[in-house]
Every structure is written in structure tokens, then in C-alpha cells.
Structure 1
Amino acid sequence: MRFLSMRVAYKISFIFFIFFIFYSCSPTKYVGKDEYLLDRVKVKVDDYKLNRSDLKRNIRQKPNTRILGVARFHLGLYNLSGRNEKKKFNQWLRRIGEAPVIYDPFMTQRSASQIELYLHNKGFYSAEVSDTIFYKKRKAFVEYHVKVGPVTRIQEVRFDDKEGGRVNQIAEESGLMANFRRDTVNTLLEKDAPLDLDVLDDERERITKMLREKGYFNFSKNFIQFFADTTSAAKENMAKVFVRVVENAVDSNAYRRYFVRNISVNFDYDPMLTAEQVDSTYNTLYYNGYNILYKGKLKIKPKMIIETIQLQQMELYDARRVIDTYVRLQALNLFKMVNIDFKEVESDGDVKALDCVIQLSPVKRQSYNVFLEGTHNSGNMGVGGNFTYNHRNVFRAGENISASIWGSLRKEQVNGEGKIFNTSEIGAELKLVTPQFWMPFFKMKDFRRNYAPKTSISFSYSYEYTPYYTRSIANARFGYLWRKANKKWRYNFDLIDLNYVLMKDVDQNFIDGLKNEYIKNAYTDHMILSAVFSATYTDQQVNVKTANYSYFRVNTETSGNFLSVIDGIAGSKSSASGTLNEKYYKIFGVRYAQFVKADAEYRYNWYINRANSLVGRLFVGCGYPYGNMKVLPFEEAYYGGGANDIRAWQARTLGPGSYLATEKYPNSVGDFKLAGNIEYRFKLIWLLEGALFVDAGNVWNINPKENRFGAKLNYNFFNQIAIGTGAGLRLNANFFLLRFDLGIKVKDPSMPEGNRFVLFDSRGGFRRSVFNVAIGYPF
């Protein structure tokens, strides 16, 4: 282990040496005569409340990308190329590198104008921007000086002020103006707020969205006008804002409402077919008022698709329901393309008519994938594989059934064990997810329509062999998944989560070596019957990599209470045995666990630029065992360390608290966990990425049966938080990410107080480093 860690340390040192070489190379190697490398750009603002990052987004010429704010790694790669542009190696270096940014006076002037324009749009109409250029050793330094000046604020807002204007007769008759006036209570324009053009545009979008949800199919945001009057305002730098709907539109139908007349659904849409070919190729079925088009045999039950569609015949057009229909149809995972098309049809009266055509292109119904992996964690090597078969639409009602088998071989650090692989695991799972909501006693029609619930059923079995015991786990799960279309929250409620755990061939010497009765109790047969609710939030935008985003997950679980009630009603008798000699009840021949558990996780991803990002994570969780089992089951307890947690420690070797584990097998778990991570990620070359990270946290026990020194949660727990740091390399192929992380101990809570900072001595640093290989980002 020590030899491995030292070897990895040399590799990391070599990488940093390469960084130093790149940084030391002359960055002006390919800067021509009478040219200057744009080295730094600063923005100085006389108003400290103004967000400088927003101003910097308007700068049109920015310096070469830096890593850690210092090293121009990508420019260094470009400069490693030779002068001969025909050589493929030089071409490759220039392609993966970044050419020097040559200072351009025109771009500086344009940037100053853009910053000034941005400030004007924010209400700072007196803002002035100037620039200063400094030259030194063929490098240019640009400073933008921003004088903000006073901001113009909104004195009052008037909607549809008819003074000096004509009455919009068509809009009045169609009810548009009545809806417009009623909605003014929801305006984004507030008194005394800055006259911000972005807010005005958001108000235009809001009004347009509201009207398009009330049947105004052809209404556009261009029909909303704003007028700002600063001459009649009571005070200087104040403005009266008038919001109006234009009197005359090119298309008078823009002010009329539309209803949906006919709805057709093409189950096998082919964009290459003409209208004539469609008539001759497709079969037609009229189902509950919907026209169904399909080829050959009907592959999907129409009832399932019709229940998914949010649009209704003879109802007013509603843009919100169109979006909901898109989202729900895509969530079925049955179609590679979903398109909803509307065509205007001739109709009499003020309310016009639309025909709707929903075009669906199906995906392949059956697929499989094979996944192989190798792992290496603190000297514990392993290999594993997974085979999964998927069948979409197995019963022609959108059901997705998957069958998986997996297996792994691992090498655990066990004293006196000479086998290459001494731990093995094999398992299988069968899972069915259906868009049908199996809750027969509650119809909840509105809930089904608005939240697109699914029902999930799964069965799994796994068998694990270790040098000290064998463990079999049978699992059955029944639950629901739902989310509101176009919303950021997802919910999961497992009504039944049953785990039946059998511990066989437990080595008595191993049990005797566990010095704590509390831990011994975790290695007994038991059953967990729990209900689990989880909610997940994220505002990450699909296919958008240039924005900050948050992720939040909360999870609650309760177990054993239902079985305890049954025992109470049935008058069951408890028996006394086990490592703690406690009385408890059995069901199906094994003891069942009782506990409550809750945890939450929050992540935030800061996008810095195309080559740099920063990710933070905070996790807190607590479980409390009681009743029939006074200890959390081993698989439900929290642990510290590992490739996705505090990477300077091997999994289950940290804590609990300041306790120093002396057992042969890693089993350090706890009832309470607190962890935080921050990771700086940066692009290197091709698919290669780098990372620097700091991890902190620990686990503790709150159970009164805990008697290990330093393991219980107390007022001094902050001094028992472990800290690790390190660096990593990642191979990112978008669909697959292979991660290598080297974790280095900084603060070890198992050491005596006053001697816990171990970065620069033999108890920490590179000498005790942990090398992790994993799949995917840690968080």
C-alpha cells in the first residue's frame, strides 16, 4: 500500500511539474511583431453593489483560459507546437490547445460600448465607461472604468391607458382586454424598482404566456408595448410606465381565441412520407373521439396514449397543456420524436378552430447493455460486470420491464489472507415500471392528469461471500413515482420496501474480535419492512452547460412499525437471545428492525468558464433505532470514506467520531452523518479533465448501547470532523466517465487531540494516501 501511494505521489508530482513547464514557457511565443498578448482584463466600478460578473459577460475579448486563475494550460499546449504547420503533431497540439488572444483595440471599444448599453438597459442612463490600456513585455492589460450614475426608477405603472389612444375593438370583443386587465395584479413591474429592460421583457413574456393559456393561439409578445415617460414624473430619475396592447396587428386573428376541434395521433410517424402516402399506408382507428393512425399492427394501446395527452376536444387552446403533453409523452420513453402540430380551420364567429396532429416516432422496443468495470480503492482491487435487458411497452401499455444480473470479485485487505480475490458478490433484479397508477381505491383523476404518476415493482436477490461471513439479501419493492410536467421536483414513494437478510457461516473469531456488542448485533439475521419517501429538486437545464444549477434531495424512511402493530394485535411473545440478550419479536423466523431515518443532500455547481467549474456538496443524515432492534441494520447505517465521499479514507474505515478501529474488517458505521465537499474541476486535453478537492465529515453514533470511546455524538463533534484533500484525473467521454482520485489525509480525528493535523507527518500526507478508481463524478 505504501509503495503504491508513493508511486502515485510521484505521478501526481510529475503532472504538476508539467503544469509548471507550461506556465514557465513564454506565452508570447506566437505573438507577432507589433502585437500584444491580452494578459488581463479588469472591471472597476464606483458602485460596489453592482455585480461585476454581469458586466464581464459583455466583454467581447477575453484573455486565454486559465486554470486555478494562474496557469494558461491550453495556451501552453498550443505553444508546444512547432512552426511547421504541415506536421500532424503540430496540428494536433494546436487543435487541442488555444491560440494566443491578440489584443484588438476595436474589440476593447466595442466591449466598453456593450457594458454601457447593458447599464442603460438596467436603468443607469447616465452610466459612462472608459478604458485604459497598459503595455508591458508584449502583453496588454485592459482596465474598464465604470461610472454608474443614478438609476431611473418606476414611479407608477399604468395598464391599457386609453388617453390619447384608440380602443382595440377586436381585442375588446374577444375578451382579450378583460383577461389582460384582470391579470395586472400579477405584474412583475413594481413601484420604485429600477427601470430594467430585462424585467420589461419578462413582463411581456408573462403576459403573452397568460393569454396563450387562455385560448389566444396567435398572440405574440410583439403585440405588447411599453412607454416610459420621464418628463411628467414627480421626481428626477423617475418614470411613469405605460403597458399597452397594440391597436392594430397585421393578423386580426391574433386577438381571437381558438378551440381545439379534432385531435389526431400518428403512432408511427414517418417524416419522409407525403400526405398522399399517409392515406394509403396507415390504418385508421377512431377511439374515444381521437383519430388514431398506425402501420400494420397496433403496437400501443390507444387508452394509455389518450390518458397521457392533456389536450381536450372542444376546449380552448392552452399552451400550458401543449407543453405538458410534450413532457408526458417524452417521459414514456417510447418515442424518439414527439411533435404537436396545429392547423387553423375555417370557422364562423369570434372563436376560431384548430385541428391538432400529434406525431410520434417509436423507438426500438427491446435493448440490452453490458457493463464491465475494474475498481481499485486503497489497495482493494476488484472486477465486476452487469448485463441488463430492457423491453419497452412489453404489454402494449407503456410498461418498461428490465432484467439485470451482476457480479463482482474484490480483494479486501484481510490479515493472513493470500487469495487474489477473497470477496465475491452475485445478484439479479427484475423490475417493472408502468405509467398506470395502481391505486384502486382512490381515483384521483386530477392527480393522474397533472402529475403523470408511474407504478414501480421490483424483486432482487444478492449473495455476498467474505472471509468472515456470507450474506443473502432478498428484496421486494412496490412504489410510485410522479412529477408535475415541466416542473423541477420529482417524487418517489416506496409503499413497501422489504429486505430479508440472512447471515450465514459467520466466523465466530470475527464476531469475538468485534469489541462492541452494538456492532456485533448488526451481523445477525433480520428483516426490514419500511416505507420510503424521497423528493428531488434540480434546476439544471438539459443540454445547457454554461449555467449554474442546484440539486437538492431529501429522503425519509420508517421501518417495522406495521409489523409491531400486528404483533401487538396478535399477542405474539417475544424471545430473548442475540448478542445483547434483548427481548424481541420474530416474523418468518427472523427478527425485524424498527427505526426512523432521514437525510438530505444539497449540491451547487458554479460555472466559471468553458474550462473551469466549482462544485459544492453538503450532506446530513440521521437514523434512530428503537423497539424490536436497538441498532440500525448494517446496510441502513451511515459510513464515511470511499470514492464518492471523503476520499482520503477507504470506505467504512472512518470513525465513528474519534474512535480508532482495530477490527480486521472495515465496519465503522454510525447513526448520524455530516459531510461536505468542494471540488474544482478543469479541462485539460481531449477527453482528459483534472480536479482538486477538499472533503470533510464523519459519522457518529447516538445509540445508548454504544460504548466505544469517542464514537458517540457529543458537543465536541466539530473537533472530530475528518479533513482530506487531493487531486484527480478524469476521462470524460460524455456517456462514460472514468475517474482517478488521490485522497490525502489532512486531519485525522482518530489521533489524540492536538495531534490531528497529519498532512506533513508520517500519519498522513502522501504516505497514507488513498487511490480511488470509480465511474462517474463523485457528486
Structure 2
Amino acid sequence: MVFLLIYSCGIEKYIPEGEQLYTGAELELETVSDLKDIKEVKTELFNLIEPSPNATFLGMKPALFFHYKAQREKPGFFYKFLNKSFGEEPVYFSDVNTERVEELILNRLDNNGFFYSRSDSETTIDGKFASVNYSASLPEAYVLENYNLESDSLPIYKEIEKMLPETALVKGDRFDLDLLKAERVRLNNGLKQRGYYNSQEDLLIFEADTNQYKNKKFDLFLRLKKDVPARASIPYTIDSITVYPNYSIEGDTLPLIKNNVTQVDSIDFVQNELYFKPELLKSYLLFNEGDLYDASISKQTSNRLSALGSYKYVNIQYTELDTTATDGDSGSLAANIYLAPLTKRSIRAELQAITKSNGFTGPGILLTHSNRNVFNGGETFSVSANFSYESQLSSGNNSSLSSIAGGISADLIIPRSIPFSPSRFKYAVPKTKISLGLDFLQRSQLFTLNSVNGSFGYTWKENQYVYHQLDPISINYSRLTNVTDEFQTILDDNPFLSLSFEQQFIAGLLYNFTYDEVSNINKEYPVYFATNFDLAGNMLNLVSGSSKTIFGSEYAQYAKVDADFRFYMRWQKERTLVSRIYAGWGLPYGNSQTLPFVKQFYSGGPYSVRAFNIRSLGPGNFNAQTENATTDYFDQSGNLKLEANVEYRFPLFSYLKGAFFIDAGNVWLTGNYSDIEDDQLTSSFSQNLFTDGKFEKDWLKEVAAGVGFGLRLDIQNFVIRLDLASPLRVPYLPENNRWNVPFFGNIDNNMTLNFAIGYPF
């Protein structure tokens, strides 16, 4: 209390003479009867009160304090920085206009059916501080009794009548201007989907009649404005469609002459030379000659054409051919679709700086050549080559370790789902992707790993938020060569690791489901959910007649699933609180005793529990540092992973952002590893891997946790991230010594610096 008093005095001395600091307002409502949604009404009215007072934290106003301190003649760098990052301009009582707020409250009450309300305000001044108490007296609200459409002979009235049963206006609802506006928007959108090309919201008029009732009820009547133009009250039919597949934005549209025009189902395709096959392009159009104009179908068609990946500009224009047909009750439209192609070929080069939290650092390069519309059907063929060199910069036994990685891949993306026609899909057309790649990884003093991979699958958007990816064919063949004596010793001493490298052939099915609201910047509380399903080996097992090998190589057989859920809370000035929960589980069976090495889960690193190095946690409370391994190359992993993260993100200045975070998680082993355990007992590497690493009922005691803070350079969604983290709980230490004071404890590796590209989640 004494501290708060001293703090208040510290703020008070900065308030200018003749001014009072505005500390906020209260609002009291008086009603004549019980109102079921009184809390919602009060919240809506309270949000009208302006201005907002300075932010308060634990009874103090630190943002205002930073501002005042920064106004001194010599504020110093510290207060300049705090003011730039968190400071607020003072809000004085002279900025408050109580009469305007009272008018806003009365206006909003009228809009909500509380006609003839009264509002008042009372000001309280206490020395250098002032507040306002607003009050409002609410009479009984007017409620809806009947909702009717005035009759007329125009065809548009019949269409409106068909849409009325779907209205959100219900008998007994309080008068609500926002609901009426929403109803008008709904009806106008419906008319535009029924051919009414010139329909507009302001042509629809609502009239409320209270004369028939003594109590506070009203009838609502809907009609068109008087003297509505004939063009706005008749439906339009699309009577001609012309597509320009190779349109130039400069405007050199080709004339409609016989040599330039190809007609498919009455649709004219105009192109000087064949750029896009007309019969394929036609399947992306959702409207045909003779259809009624539909604004939503037109927009969906535009989105489908844009998603082809061949065009930088898509524009559908409609021209009125005849405002009144022979019978006078319909109009005619000509649809012209202008498609301006992207550059056919492109080459992109990326220089990369790779820094990993396990100490490997080095340069990389990525080259990509793309050929768009390669077969005149929107197909994109791209070839990529990558090369990187990484060296272990840390001191110790591994200071001389390095790795060279490279590969080449080819992708063919076909903007339709072979063998299905695009016309079968309404929202978005699935794409077919065929991929083939070669990769190699040479780890000095250890091994060389060569791999071949290929896949055939589909990607598609179900709606604005839902995305699917299905690869019914996914193949990966890897071969371990140039194994040094040192690494062979590691494999001999660790049967679990050895088995995970022996499974050279991985063939199966992959499926991904993603629900993502984060890209919608208007959502205050967006969510993100993604799950992956990976099933391998069953088809090979069937083809090989249950043999353990195919083409002389052992193949993997397993099922693996994971789920990632994130919840975002956004508020002003780009401040976001992100919560994340992740769970993954893999089950080897049949031909496999362990998951392949590349399919195992690991914990730690810049996208996981950041207080620990990559692949340095688990399984369970297993401690690799106490084992007699010839090298610490052994990457700790498991077939079960659980993680949770909370991160608060805030702006600092310009493109620089800050963050505070806490991470928790680990990996474990599940299932029966009795055969491997017997082999492990004879090895010199570890006799504790399976006892310490198994997932059991006391798994919470084996969860690692860490806290930290970070800086992010965010330039138009290109993010360079530095996160400094420290362990809060270390699961591989003795049970009584697992808690640690972050940044100040006396454990080894008390701080970990993570460098990464992009946000962690």
C-alpha cells in the first residue's frame, strides 16, 4: 500500500497545472423489467465510452510513467527504450466529452429498441485525478410481432419471398438495427445469386409499424424503394462467354476473328497461339451460357483460375447486352474473362545461413528452376538442387565433426486431380503432385547416407480454413554407406539405434489435415489444428507374401499419428499470446521392432523445448551424458512425444519484435522391446535406455521445462529469430535435483541460444 501511494505521488507530480488525469468511467443501467441480455447490452454501451484511460497494471500505470520519464530533458536510453516500446500518451479529463458519450449511448439504445431512453453523467474530481459515472434509464424495449413482405407483381418479390424463411429475425426479438442491416445484406447477396446483377442493399427498405399495438410491439414490413430502376429489379442471363487465356495487361486484346477463336460448348477462347488448352480451361469455369448471373459462382470461378498457378491477373467482367428482353422481365449479360499469364520460366537462387542449436553451422545454397504451363494445361514443372556444409563449432570430442548435404528433386504439379475432372469440385480444384528426389548426407568420421524418394498425391482446400494433403504413394529408400569404425562401434553398442538404420525401404500412405484461422487477421481468437497420419509397409507386406525383405532390402512397417493444436489471443499493437499442445505416437509392428530413424520423435531445439539442445531430451529420464559412449553423436528419440508451449509476442520498434515463452515436453518409448532389451544388456552403451525411457504412469515427473525470451526481426513475414532459454526442470537429473533456477542455476548448459528462421509455431 505504501508503495502504491509513493507511486501515485510519482505520477501526480507530472500532471500539468489545470489538468486532471482521467482514470476511467463507470456505467449504471436502470431497467423497468428483467432483461435477459442485460450484460451484453451493458458491454455494448460501455464500449462506446471514450476515450479509454491509461492502462493499469496492479493498480499502477507503468506505461504512463515511462512516457513521463521520457519527456525529461535528459531521459537516458533506458526510459527512451521503455517509452518507445510500452509508453502511452496521458489521457486528461479535458479530452473527455461527456455530452457526446451520452448521445452515443442514447443512439445505441434506440438502435436496440429502447426508444425514449434517458442518459446522464456525473463527474468526480479528486485532486489531480478525475472519473465519470454514466447512467442510463431504459424503458421496455419494442419487440417483433410479424415480419412481412409487401406484395408486388415484379419477379424480384417472388425471389425475396423464397428467402424469407431463412431469416434470422424471429417473433419476440427486440428491435435491433444491426440485425436489420444483416438481413438486408443477406437478401441482397441472395438476389445476386439468383440473377439480379444490379441489385443493391439500399434498394431494400424496412418499415416498422407500432400503431396496431398498445404494448411495445411492432410489425416489420419489407419492400423495394419507390422508383427502383428497371435494371435493378430484373434477373440477368449470361448469353455469351469469351475467355482470353493469353491476355496482356497492356490491352492488346485479339480481335474475334476465325483464326483466333476456338469454341468449346458455346464458349469462345481467343488466343493468338495455343497457350492453354481450351477444353481443359473450360472445366475450371463454373457457369455456362444460359445460366442466371450468380455473384458467388463468379467469385469462385475467379479463385479457381487464380489457383492454377499460371496467371498473375484474373478479371471477369460483365457487360449488359440488353436491359429489357422482349418480354421485359429479364436482361442479358456478356461475360469476358481476361487471364494474364505469369512469366513462363523462372530461376530462383537462395543463399542460406544454417545454424543449429546442436552446434552445427555453415552455408547453404538452393537453386530452383520452374517452367509454368509446361503442357498447356496449367502444369508447373520445377527442378531444385541444394547443397550445404555444416561444421561443429563447439569444443570437445566433436569439434572436428562436419557434414555435407545435398540433393536434387523434381516436382510436377498438375492443377487438377487425376483422373477426376475439375468440374466435379466447386470450392477449389485439388492439385496432383508427382515428386522424385535424390539426397545424400555425409557426416565426417561417421557415415554417408544416400536416399531416393518419390511420391504421388493430391492437395486441396475444402474451404477458407480447411486444407487436405493425401499421398497414397510415398516411397523412400535409404542406404547407409562409408560407415567408419567409430560409428560401427556405436551401432554395435546400441541395438535400438542400429535397427532404426537397417530399415532401408519405407513405402506407404501419408495424410495431412489442417484447419487454420490464423491467416484471417480479423479474428481476435483464431485457432490452428493440424494432424498427420503415416501408414507404411502394409502393401509391401502383401506384395512380398509376408517376407521381411523386398528387392533384397528390409522394409519398415508402422503406423504414426500426430496432432498440433494452437490457440491465439490477439489485441492491440500486434500483441499475441499463443498456446500450443502437441502429441505424437508411432507404433512399429509386423516387420519392424522400431520406427525408422527419420520417423522417430525427438525433443529439444529451436522449434521444441528451447532450453535444451536439439535431440538432447529423453527418452523419459534417460541420461546419455552418463553413458560410456565413444561419441555424443547418439540422438535421443522415442516413439511418443508430448509438448506444450506458451509464448507472448509483442512489438519493440519497427521490424523488431520481442517474446517471452515457456516450453515443456519430452519423448518416451512405448511398446514391447524385449528382444532389443536382451541385446542391449550385452552392449556397453546403455543398460538403462528401456527402463528409464519407458512411458509409465509417473510420466509427469519426466517432463522437461524451460523459460526464456527472444528477439525476432520480422520483415513482411520473413522472420529471423533468436531465442535465449534456460531449463526450469531437467528430467534426466536425480529426482530430487530436477528443478532449476533459470539463468542462475548451477547445472551444466544453463543457457541455450537458438537461431532459426520463422516463428516456432
> Structure 1 residue 316 and structure 2 residue 292: aligned?
yes
Find the partner of 2:705 among 709, 716, 723. Answer: 723
Any residues of structure 2 matched to 1:341-490 within 5 Å, and which?
341-346=317-322, 347-349=325-327, 350-367=329-346, 368-377=348-357, 379-412=359-392, 415-419=396-400, 422-439=402-419, 443=420, 446-466=423-443, 467-484=445-462, 487-490=464-467
Range with bigger deviation, 445-454 or 629-638: 445-454
The answer to whether the Cα contact below 8 Å between 2:564 and 2:583 also exists between their aligned partners in 1 is: yes
Task: Tell me how far apart the structure 2 counterparts of residues 143 and 64 of structure 1 sit (CA, whole Å).
Answer: 14
Q: Which amino acid aligns with 1:301?
A: K
Q: Which amino acid aligns with 2:153?
A: Q
Any residues of structure 2 matched to 1:3-22 within 5 Å, and which?
none
Range with bigger deviation, 367-376 or 687-696: 367-376
Distance 1:739 1:57, change over 3 A: farther
The answer to whether the Cα contact below 8 Å between 1:153 and 1:192 also exists between their aligned partners in 2 is: no
Find the partner of 2:739 among 738, 748, 757. Answer: 757
How much does 1:271 deviate?
A: 5.5
Give 3-state SS (helix, strand or coil) of 1:518's partner.
Answer: helix
Any residues of structure 2 matched to 1:552-631 within 5 Å, and which?
552-568=529-545, 574=547, 585-631=548-594
How much does 1:128 deviate?
A: 6.9
Find the partner of 1:168 among 136, 141, 152. Answer: 152
The answer to whether the Cα contact below 8 Å between 1:639 and 1:652 also exists between their aligned partners in 2 is: yes
Distance 1:716 1:93, change over 3 A: closer
Task: Tell me how far apart the structure 1 counterparts of residues 102 and 748 of structure 2 sit (CA, whole Å).
Answer: 49
- Which position in structure 1 is the counterpart of 2:223? 245
Task: Tell me how far apart the structure 1 counterparts of residues 736 and 116 of structure 2 sit (CA, whole Å).
Answer: 59
Q: Which amino acid aligns with 2:690?
A: R
Q: Which amino acid aligns with 1:687?
A: Y
The answer to whether the Cα contact below 8 Å between 2:743 and 2:751 also exists between their aligned partners in 1 is: no
Give 3-state SS (helix, strand or coil) of 2:543's partner.
Answer: helix
- Cα deviation 1:112-164 (Å, max 9, x = unaligned): 544554455455668776666666786x565665669688485555342x5xx
Higher RCO (C-alpha 8 Å, min separation 6): 1
Distance 1:695 1:45, change over 3 A: farther
Task: Tell me how far apart the structure 1 counterparts of residues 144 and 134 of structure 2 sit (CA, whole Å).
Answer: 30
Task: Tell me how far apart the structure 2 counterparts of residues 220 and 330 of structure 1 sit (CA, whole Å).
Answer: 27
Task: Tell me how far apart the structure 1 counterparts of residues 747 and 170 of structure 2 sit (CA, whole Å).
Answer: 56
Find the partner of 1:676 among 626, 631, 644. Answer: 644
- Cα deviation 1:579-608 (Å, max 9, x = unaligned): xxxxxx111222111111222222222221
- Which position in structure 1 is the counterpart of 2:612? 649
- Which position in structure 1 is the counterpart of 2:147? 158
Task: Tell me how far apart the structure 2 counterparts of residues 722 and 182 of structure 1 sit (CA, whole Å).
Answer: 61
Among all aligned residue pairs of Structure 1 and Structure 2, give the percentage whose two residues are the same amino acid. Answer: 28
- Which position in structure 1 is the counterpart of 2:233? 255
The answer to whether the Cα contact below 8 Å between 2:284 and 2:423 also exists between their aligned partners in 1 is: no
The answer to whether the Cα contact below 8 Å between 1:384 and 1:406 also exists between their aligned partners in 2 is: yes
The answer to whether the Cα contact below 8 Å between 1:744 and 1:764 also exists between their aligned partners in 2 is: no
The answer to whether the Cα contact below 8 Å between 2:459 and 2:468 also exists between their aligned partners in 1 is: yes
Give 3-state SS (helix, strand or coil) of 1:669's partner.
Answer: coil
The answer to whether the Cα contact below 8 Å between 1:64 and 1:72 also exists between their aligned partners in 2 is: no
Distance 1:425 1:34, change over 3 A: farther
Q: Which amino acid aligns with 1:264?
A: T
Task: Tell me how far apart the structure 2 counterparts of residues 770 and 735 of structure 1 sit (CA, whole Å).
Answer: 25
> Structure 1 residue 186 and structure 2 residue 166: aligned?
yes
Task: Tell me how far apart the structure 1 counterparts of residues 467 and 476 of structure 2 sit (CA, whole Å).
Answer: 25
- Which position in structure 1 is the counterpart of 2:192? 212
Distance 1:554 1:336, change over 3 A: same
Range with bigger deviation, 187-196 or 328-337: 187-196
Task: Tell me how far apart the structure 1 counterparts of residues 610 and 258 of structure 2 sit (CA, whole Å).
Answer: 58
- Cα deviation 1:678-711 (Å, max 9, x = unaligned): 2111111111111111212222221211762232
Task: Tell me how far apart the structure 1 counterparts of residues 729 and 96 of structure 2 sit (CA, whole Å).
Answer: 52
How many corresponding residue pairs? 716
The answer to whether the Cα contact below 8 Å between 1:226 and 1:241 also exists between their aligned partners in 2 is: no
How much does 1:342 deviate?
A: 1.2
How much does 1:360 deviate?
A: 2.4
How much does 1:217 deviate?
A: 1.9
Task: Tell me how far apart the structure 1 counterparts of residues 96 and 572 of structure 2 sit (CA, whole Å).
Answer: 23
Find the partner of 1:769 among 737, 751, 760. Answer: 751
Give 3-state SS (helix, strand or coil) of 1:653's partner.
Answer: coil
- Which position in structure 1 is the counterpart of 2:34? none
Distance 1:690 1:354, change over 3 A: same
Task: Tell me how far apart the structure 2 counterparts of residues 765 and 128 of structure 1 sit (CA, whole Å).
Answer: 67
Give 3-state SS (helix, strand or coil) of 1:433's partner.
Answer: strand
Task: Tell me how far apart the structure 2 counterparts of residues 126 and 180 of structure 1 sit (CA, whole Å).
Answer: 33
How much does 1:278 deviate?
A: 6.4
Structure 2 length normalisation: TM-score?
A: 0.83
Task: Tell me how far apart the structure 2 counterparts of residues 777 and 282 of structure 1 sit (CA, whole Å).
Answer: 55
How much does 1:455 deviate?
A: 0.7
Task: Tell me how far apart the structure 2 counterparts of residues 27 and 599 of structure 1 sit (CA, whole Å).
Answer: 52
- Which position in structure 1 is the counterpart of 2:302? 326
Find the partner of 1:501 among 478, 481, 500. Answer: 478
Find the partner of 2:527 among 544, 550, 560. Answer: 550
Give 3-state SS (helix, strand or coil) of 1:218's partner.
Answer: coil
> Structure 1 residue 688 and structure 2 residue 656: aligned?
yes
Q: Which stretches in structure 1 are left out of the alignment for 5+ residues?
A: 1-22, 85-89, 575-584
> Structure 1 residue 199 and structure 2 residue 179: aligned?
yes
The answer to whether the Cα contact below 8 Å between 1:471 and 1:502 also exists between their aligned partners in 2 is: yes
How much does 1:200 deviate?
A: 3.1
Find the partner of 1:292 among 262, 269, 277. Answer: 269
- Which position in structure 1 is the counterpart of 2:33? none
Task: Tell me how far apart the structure 2 counterparts of residues 30 and 113 of structure 1 sit (CA, whole Å).
Answer: 33
Task: Tell me how far apart the structure 1 counterparts of residues 494 and 234 of structure 2 sit (CA, whole Å).
Answer: 77
Give 3-state SS (helix, strand or coil) of 1:327's partner.
Answer: helix
Any residues of structure 2 matched to 1:57-72 within 5 Å, and which?
58-62=48-52
Structure 1 length normalisation: TM-score?
A: 0.81
- Which position in structure 2 is the counterpart of 1:100? 89
Distance 1:709 1:226, change over 3 A: farther
The answer to whether the Cα contact below 8 Å between 1:260 and 1:356 also exists between their aligned partners in 2 is: yes
Any residues of structure 2 matched to 1:130-141 within 5 Å, and which?
none
Task: Tell me how far apart the structure 2 counterparts of residues 298 and 28 of structure 1 sit (CA, whole Å).
Answer: 77
Give 3-state SS (helix, strand or coil) of 1:207's partner.
Answer: helix
The answer to whether the Cα contact below 8 Å between 2:237 and 2:291 also exists between their aligned partners in 1 is: yes
Task: Tell me how far apart the structure 2 counterparts of residues 24 and 373 of structure 1 sit (CA, whole Å).
Answer: 50
Distance 1:204 1:370, change over 3 A: same
- Cα deviation 1:210-264 (Å, max 9, x = unaligned): 222122222223344445566767976xx45535232645213323221101112
How much does 1:735 deviate?
A: 4.2
The answer to whether the Cα contact below 8 Å between 1:96 and 1:686 also exists between their aligned partners in 2 is: no
Give 3-state SS (helix, strand or coil) of 2:433's partner.
Answer: strand
Find the partner of 1:704 among 672, 697, 701. Answer: 672
Give 3-state SS (helix, strand or coil) of 1:358's partner.
Answer: strand
Task: Tell me how far apart the structure 2 counterparts of residues 256 and 34 of structure 1 sit (CA, whole Å).
Answer: 65
